Structure 1
Amino acid sequence: MSELDLKPALEAVLMVVDEPATEAHLAKVLDRTPREVADALRELADEYTAQGRGFELRVVAGGWRFYTRAAYAPAVEAFVLDGQQARLTQAALETLAVVAYRQPVSRSRVSAVRGVNCDGVMRTLLQRGLVEEAGAEPETGAILYRTTNYFLERMGLRGLDELPELAPFLPEAEAVEPDSLEGVPSFDPDEDETDETTED
């Protein structure tokens, strides 16, 4: 494999990946050193930016993948959606935010923070691969949930440490309890979901 030109080989592989590819994995399949792969990937990313291409190469969730450049997202959205709504409901966004900032967290804890039953919304988030089970709470045996790598990928984050700080989004005029997540930034992974009406 080493006889192939590295940059075109990386482009070819990254065109077909289903999830971000790590430098170590790319180096293994292309029979190159991780350093060679890392340097080539960064050069490709810089080239695409310099050329003003409609896509970019980014590190997300621990690996590299092609993404639409933000400036051209409206064109892609118009093509993919074609007038259809493909956003999470407000209830799902709020639930996802609670899980993201409080993980690992139980359903009952999420419901307590939101003030409504979140079972239906949690099922939706699980089905869409945005959250997953993360063991059980020792004291109660309740199932705990956390966000997935797919969540990081859809949000364009390298890791959870890149989640925005909550303070700028919290109300200034009133004190907010530490466990409250009112005013958290809205997440929009562009996923289709019908409005949840089963919450109490």
Structure 2
Amino acid sequence: MSDEERRDSLADQAAAWVPPWDRPRPPAAANTPDAPPDESAPLSDQGDLGGKALLQGPKPSKIFAEPSANASGSGSTESGSESGPGSGSVAGTGSGVGESGGARGVPRREVVGRRRVPAAPEPAPELSDAELRGALEAILLVVDEPVSELVLAQVLEQPAERVGPMLDEIAAGYTAAGHGFELRRAAGGWRLYTRPEYATYVERFVLDGQSVRLTQAALETLAVVAYKQPVTRSRISAIRGVNCDGVIRTLVTRGLVEECGTEQDSGAFLYRTTTLFLEKLGLNTVDELPPLAPFLPDDVEELADATR
């Protein structure tokens, strides 16, 4: 049979095909699950029915218990496109049941997954002024370093526009009440500090006779770093006139100085002060350091020329 005759035969068979739901009902005996297949039917029909029952599961559907005539028509129609009863049964199942969506007029079943959309979180209730004040005081009592307004606003889930003015109000209230501590801004954040007039008593309690002060060399090196930062060790040594490698290591160990990159030309390490330095001095930024001009001698230029 040529290809053209084969296509015409397939077209005729497809046009003569009757959907299972339009076929006449089979006898009651054929609807029983234990009824054996009709052995008188052609081999292609038995393969078609067996393949349909296998795909449908242990309980065959009524639409597949067809009379031998209808089953023969279905099997012959579909088996004509393939060479063998097995292939004919698979093709018949795909086109008859409509699982693969190949039959005309049979809607394709699609399982669409349902994706759960998370519900939007409910906005945090707005705290009253008294509640906000108490929450800020509670947090500030346990912090071990200055905390910024943004962090406080995120923790309390309140707008930052309310946190800043409330901190200023708390600080003014402590000062007006004459407490032994105060709330002030330092190192880019807020923290509670003891007042300077009570520093003697606090120092006596904390140190208990022990002195943990920096040496003169460490103070001089720290001052050079603070005013010249970022600065290299060679530059610090040139300003002080002595080697400062050991002093720099001491300051780094105590957390007052840290590395901040390398110099572009020489590749030497650059050093700068840390937030702990600002916290210990009670400063917010290094711009608040006192100017050096009032502390310089009048003949500083003469002294510089004499050292050359």
> 1:153: which partner in 2?
279
Say which of 227, 231, 253 aligns to 1:105.
231
1:174 offset after TM fit, Å?
Answer: 3.8
Structure 2: which amino acid aligns with 1:152? L
1:59 aligns with 2:200: no
- Within 5 Å, give how 1:155-170 maps onto structure 2: 155-170=281-296
Aligned mates of 1:174, 1:26 — CA distance in 2: 48
> 2:170: which partner in 1?
44
Aligned mates of 2:127, 2:223 — CA distance in 1: 47
Q: Secondary structure at the match of 1:15?
A: helix
Cα–Cα, structure 1 residues 158 and 81, in superposed 2: closer, same or farther, change >3 Å?
same
1:33 offset after TM fit, Å?
Answer: 1.1
Aligned mates of 2:127, 2:296 — CA distance in 1: 56
> 2:160: which partner in 1?
34
- Within 5 Å, give how 1:1-200 maps onto structure 2: 2-3=126-127, 5-175=131-301, 177=304
Q: Secondary structure at the match of 2:137?
A: helix
Structure 2: which amino acid aligns with 1:149? T
Structure 2: which amino acid aligns with 1:49? T
More helix by share: 2
**Greater Cα radius of gyration, structure 1 or 2:** 2
> 1:192: which partner in 2?
none
1:39 offset after TM fit, Å?
Answer: 1.3
Aligned mates of 1:162, 1:68 — CA distance in 2: 20
Q: Secondary structure at the match of 1:96?
A: helix
Aligned mates of 1:77, 1:65 — CA distance in 2: 19
RCO (CA 8 Å, sep 6+): is it higher in 1 or 2? Answer: 1
Aligned mates of 2:294, 2:147 — CA distance in 1: 34
Aligned mates of 2:275, 2:207 — CA distance in 1: 24
Deviates further, 139-148 or 4-13: 4-13
Deviations 1:4-33 (A, max 9, x none): 701111011011112111111101101111
Runs of 4+ aligned structure 1 residues displaced above 6 Å come to none
More strand by share: 1
Structure 2: give runs of 5+ residues left out of the alignment: 1-123
1:80 offset after TM fit, Å?
Answer: 0.7
> Number of paired residues?
178
Aligned mates of 2:299, 2:234 — CA distance in 1: 29
Give TM-score, length-normalised by structure 1.
Answer: 0.85
> 1:186: which partner in 2?
none
1:158 offset after TM fit, Å?
Answer: 1.0
Structure 1: give runs of 5+ residues left out of the alignment: 181-200
Give TM-score, length-normalised by structure 2.
Answer: 0.56
Q: Secondary structure at the match of 1:158?
A: coil
Cα–Cα, structure 1 residues 45 and 95, in superposed 2: closer, same or farther, change >3 Å?
same
1:3 offset after TM fit, Å?
Answer: 4.5
Deviations 1:83-134 (A, max 9, x none): 1112111000000000011111111111111011111110110011101001
Q: Secondary structure at the match of 1:20?
A: coil
> 1:188: which partner in 2?
none
- Identity percentage over the alignment? 62
Structure 2: which amino acid aligns with 1:32? Q
Q: Secondary structure at the match of 1:144?
A: strand
